[in-house]
Amino acid sequence: MGLVLIGMLFASMVLLGLWERRRSKKRFQEASRKLKDLGSEFPPDAEEQ
């Protein structure tokens, strides 16, 4: 019985890690897309003083 609980704990930790990695990758792509959109709104200045 103890081995089953340890296996379930290990499996849940692995699945949670995979889910969190996918979630953070999705959030990173969303943020970089927003940053790219924000950068395209304003033309870059040739010289900034």
The structure's pTM equals 0.60
Would residue 31 count as lying in a domain? Answer: yes
Top pLDDT among 1 and 13 is at 13
Q: What DSSP string describes 8-48? A: HHHHHHHHHHHHHHHHHHHHHHHHHHHHHHHHHHSPPPSS-
Q: Which of 26, 44, 22, 15 lies closest to 7, judged by CA?
A: 15
Would residue 49 count as lying in a domain? Answer: no
Rounded CA-CA distance 13/8 in Å is: 9
Would residue 16 count as lying in a domain? Answer: yes
**pLDDT tens per residue across span 14-39:** 999 999 999 999 999 999 999 998 88
Would residue 5 count as lying in a domain? Answer: yes
